[in-house]
Structure 1
Amino acid sequence: MTLQLVKPDKNWYSAYQSFYFEWDESKEKMIPWVIAQFPDDIDKLLAFYDDHHSGNIPQNWVPDTTYWLVDEANVIGVVNIRHYLNDFLLESGGHIGYGIRPSERRKGYATIMLQLALKKAKELGIKETLVTCDAENVASKKVILRNGGKAADDYVDNDGNIIHRFWIDA
């Protein structure tokens, strides 16, 4: 099986819809946040991704690029790479957010997707990549550590949630 990160396009749209609806049915929080954007209209979805990549974004946001992790026929995961950090992202969001569809978890895909995303981040000129996860997300912590994550100070948000922070050298 060949896995690759692809920029979202119409050729993968039905596979993306399958990914989206599976996640939606799980009732889990959609991570990264871009998963929930315009799932019923491919043109709006692609325009949204293009706007965010080019920096046509709300004030206080940063440009970002989204990729889909695909095999020969399926969208397995989504990764979102922020081009630089603002104060919020430095505390709790990091450079990279990623998620694997529920039926494909625990198969090593997240580790591969983060590895591929780190290469994309390096192409964007990011020399040190911040990746974060909620303290209770043990699987994500393992993925980050497998990709060379070095623990930084944790961040505690206003609700008392602990966010683990890790730096990964390019």
Structure 2
Amino acid sequence: MVKTAVEPRPMELVWPSRVYLPGYVSALNRGWSRDEMRPEAGAEERAAIEADADRFLASLVDREARGGRILMPDGSRMRRLPGYKCWMWDGDFCGSIDLRWQPGTDALPLYCLGHIGYSVVPWKQRRGYATRALGAMLKLAAREGLRRVEITTSPDNFASQKVIVANGGKLVESFVTLPSQGSVTKLRYRIALA
């Protein structure tokens, strides 16, 4: 009998749920964290999942901004914006992408660096997943009534810059974040939504 190569499943965005939670926990256990500014967030999420997995999952889709305040890198807390997270899935957990917005406007408060943030686990990088995930999330952003989104990245994160540009992103500025965000240099891109 001749074995044939199994075609990999295409990456898709899925809503966080119990079905996909073991893959997410596995990524956390391998040291991945979706919050690059707060690496300790992975351990905090594991603890939240262990305490109440259903509550943790529900917190990832918060279209009415009912959750608690957002913890900033300096320890301060800011008002939560409406938003949600989707997980990248190809038969296993690949990463996370999130959308947040301020109702009635395309503008964001100063403490929010962008409408969309994403992170692919290291062992699934260089497969085009972030590019496809961002393209899918842009469609969801348009359904939320946004006419444009802003995405920020670090000047040395060339992979992220490539993902943003591949999805129509235009560089608007280089800036320094607020002290509550670490006073680091970031690049801001803007993507017009059709």
* TM-score range relative to shorter protein: 0.7 to 0.9
Is residue 66–residue 81 contact of structure 1 (8 Å, CA) maintained in 2?
A: yes
Distance 1:86 1:113 in 2: 24
Structure 1 counterpart SS, 2:145: coil
Q: 1:32 to 1:39 in 2, by over 3 A?
A: farther
Distance 2:120 2:96 in 1: 7
Corresponding residue for residue 87 of structure 1 = 110
Distance 2:37 2:142 in 1: 20
Distance 1:128 1:94 in 2: 11
Percent of matched pairs sharing the same residue: 28
Distance 1:23 1:53 in 2: 28
Structure 2 counterpart SS, 1:8: coil
* Aligned: 1:4 with 2:12: yes
Distance 1:83 1:161 in 2: 23
Alignment match of 2:116 (pick from 78, 91, 96): 96
Corresponding residue for residue 119 of structure 1 = 139
Q: TM-score, normalised by structure 2?
A: 0.75
1:144-155 equivalences under 5 Å are 144-155=164-175
Is residue 31–residue 98 contact of structure 1 (8 Å, CA) maintained in 2?
A: no
Corresponding residue for residue 49 of structure 1 = 60
Alignment match of 1:69 (pick from 70, 88, 100): 88
How much is the aligned-residue C-alpha RMSD, in angstroms?
Answer: 2.1
1:27-82 per-residue CA deviation (whole Å, 9 max, x = no partner) reads x773487x7332434213113224x33210336221111100111x2111101100
Q: Between Structure 1 and Structure 2, how many residues are aligned? A: 161
Runs of at least 5 residues in structure 1 that lack an aligned partner in the other structure = none
Q: 1:32 to 1:146 in 2, by over 3 A?
A: farther
Distance 1:31 1:82 in 2: 17
Structure 2 counterpart SS, 1:152: strand
| Shift of residue 22, structure 1, vs aligned partner | 2.3
Distance 1:143 1:65 in 2: 20
Is residue 62–residue 86 contact of structure 1 (8 Å, CA) maintained in 2?
A: no
More helix by share: 1
| Shift of residue 160, structure 1, vs aligned partner | 4.8
